[in-house]
A = this chain, B = another copy of it.
């Protein structure tokens, strides 16, 4: 039972479910539903899909996540960044005539679902570590800018175009003469209203006598008010006839479940994007989920979150939706509104299903400019310029990875942006760890301590070189050691012994072992013996599984002092000569 509960967390929280929890979850669900309806429509438009796709992606996926997710309060559904990534993945497939947009989006969700579930079952959640914080932060900032710029055409009522920031801005500049004044009025009005609502509505409502929580919840319903108002205005003034783009007829009802198109050509075209969407969505979800869980001292299981998100995407795939993930804003609203369990997600799904069944006829007069305004306000809160300055101050390599991600995302594309960021952070990490800190050490006079010759007055001997490396040895820095020792030996014609001091070496991988063997061989060719000192227990165990110690021309000493004494013994008497040398079989 415990085991099954691990895979389906609902079996755990479902048993203790009571009336108090039910009413808390129901209230949260109502509030999230009101927030999710405009977002679903808007993000579907951002993804280049018909508006109902957004609603469909907010029904079954929520139920699937409630069954399999471990986070109690994460609210899943269409989100801005993943919608942008969907648009960018779907566009070339449509252009190449491989599939239509809806088919491609559904297949993308299916692929992403399969990948997420597989990663969860294989416990590959650590793959998300490839995305460093500066890369994610830079990517989200750049995506926010890209999305906001892309939506401006809906506010201006021009055709727009372009997929990169320069192209979008150039397109808008060329089309400024074609601006539709009615569209601009609606769009600018909605933008202004939403901006004021976000900035001041809560304060005004509190001043009007509401308590802080209610005021916050009502303020968050501003988009639905904007939608209702602009629908009424569009009907009253017949804005459709005046060139204002409206959402148009949305089919009522729920999608008929169907299997996604998994033709090899389509799968091959979408697989890389699906992988990036999975990783980006997972990283964002887990970070939100963990923050919320910690507030109530609950736990989430990252590998189980993968399965939950995977199930949600598979559900999106069979119900004509598109890729979903956990949303930051809506999860916070869900949490603050008092949601206690995943049941709140199920109730939200019911709310959206009711909207899909009964509200869609009302939406045909909704101006697209209103949705664009909703998107712009939502994504501009994702843009975090101060983070760029913070990263610059804290770490130049991290800043380089962040800047690379931002520039490539804006100027080339979202997939290229993420991969550039990953490549940069890996490359910079490798570059940094390819030059570990190392020091030539000598004896502090009168003690058994050995310190860096550059920082202390220490005793050394021309025939003995003692080198300390302050990092584990692995493939990225294995060659550094070869180079460093080769260089030091070439400078010291009288050298007869090299001692590698290993107190900070926690691990030696197969590449580093080969390098040590190579160093040993090369030193032997030059008539120099190679010794180790202060090797940690687990590292020594490992070395004994290889034949390195059989071929080692020198010895393994328990302490650097023992090494120094033994090697200097031939030259001068050592104060405390002791039988501390240890030669292993």
Known: A515-B133, A526-B297. A395 touches B430 (CB 8 A): no
A57-65, A272-280, A486-494: which one contacts chain B? A486-494
Cβ of A134 and Cβ of B511 under 8 Å apart?
yes
Known: A429-B474, A545-B394, A546-B393. A506 touches B437 (CB 8 A): yes
Cβ of A126 and Cβ of B514 under 8 Å apart?
no
Closest residue on chain B to residue A293 by CB atoms = B486
A174 in contact (CB, < 8 A): no
Contact of A431 among B126, B133, B300, B429 (CB under 8 A): B126
Question: What is the CA–CA distance of A432 and B522 in the complex, to the nearest angstrom?
Answer: 30
Question: What is the CA–CA distance of A584 and B287 in the complex, to the nearest angstrom?
Answer: 28
Question: What is the CA–CA distance of A398 and B509 in the complex, to the nearest angstrom?
Answer: 7
Cβ of B390 and Cβ of A546 under 8 Å apart?
yes
Q: What B residues does A476 contact at CB under 8 A?
A: 126, 129-130, 429
A479 in contact (CB, < 8 A): yes
Cβ of A511 and Cβ of B130 under 8 Å apart?
no
User: Smallest Cβ distance from A553 to chain B, in angstroms?
Assistant: 13
Cβ of B478 and Cβ of A129 under 8 Å apart?
yes
A451 in contact (CB, < 8 A): no
A434 in contact (CB, < 8 A): yes
User: Smallest Cβ distance from A300 to chain B, in angstroms?
Assistant: 8
Closest residue on chain B to residue A472 by CB atoms = B471
User: Smallest Cβ distance from A85 to chain B, in angstroms?
Assistant: 21
> What sequence of 0s and 1s flags, for each residue 127-152 of chain A, a beta carbon within 8 Å of any chain B beta carbon?
11111111000000000000000000
A510 in contact (CB, < 8 A): yes
Total copies of this chain within the assembly: 2
Q: Which of A410-445 contact B (CB under 8 A)?
A: 425-427, 429-432, 434-435, 437
Question: What is the CA–CA distance of A489 and B290 in the complex, to the nearest angstrom?
Answer: 12
State the main secondary structure of chain A at its contact with B: helix
A525 in contact (CB, < 8 A): yes
A463 in contact (CB, < 8 A): no
Q: What B residues does A493 contact at CB under 8 A?
A: 297
Q: Which of A498-535 contact B (CB under 8 A)?
A: 506-507, 509-511, 513-515, 518, 521-523, 525-526
Cβ of A129 and Cβ of B509 under 8 Å apart?
no
Q: What B residues does A487 contact at CB under 8 A?
A: 299
A391 in contact (CB, < 8 A): yes
Q: What B residues does A393 contact at CB under 8 A?
A: 545-546
A261 in contact (CB, < 8 A): no
Q: What B residues does A507 contact at CB under 8 A?
A: 432
Closest residue on chain B to residue A548 by CB atoms = B394
A187 in contact (CB, < 8 A): no
Q: What B residues does A521 contact at CB under 8 A?
A: 291
A157 in contact (CB, < 8 A): no
Instruction: Knowing that A127-B430, A130-B476, A395-B542 touch, tell me 20 more A-B residue pairs with CB under 8 angstroms.
Output: A126-B430, A126-B435, A127-B427, A129-B430, A129-B434, A130-B475, A132-B475, A132-B478, A133-B475, A291-B522, A294-B486, A295-B526, A296-B526, A297-B489, A297-B490, A299-B486, A302-B483, A391-B510, A395-B509, A395-B510
Q: Give me the interface of A with B, judged by CB distance under 8 Å.
A: 126-134, 286-287, 290-291, 293-300, 302, 390-391, 393-395, 397-399, 402, 425-427, 429-432, 434-435, 437, 470-471, 474-479, 482-483, 486-487, 489-490, 493, 506-507, 509-511, 513-515, 518, 521-523, 525-526, 542, 545-547
Give 23 pairs: A residue, B residue, CB < 8 Å, sorted on A: A126-B434, A126-B435, A129-B477, A130-B430, A132-B510, A133-B475, A133-B478, A133-B515, A287-B518, A291-B522, A293-B486, A294-B486, A294-B523, A295-B526, A296-B526, A393-B545, A394-B542, A395-B510, A402-B510, A429-B474, A432-B507, A470-B506, A471-B506
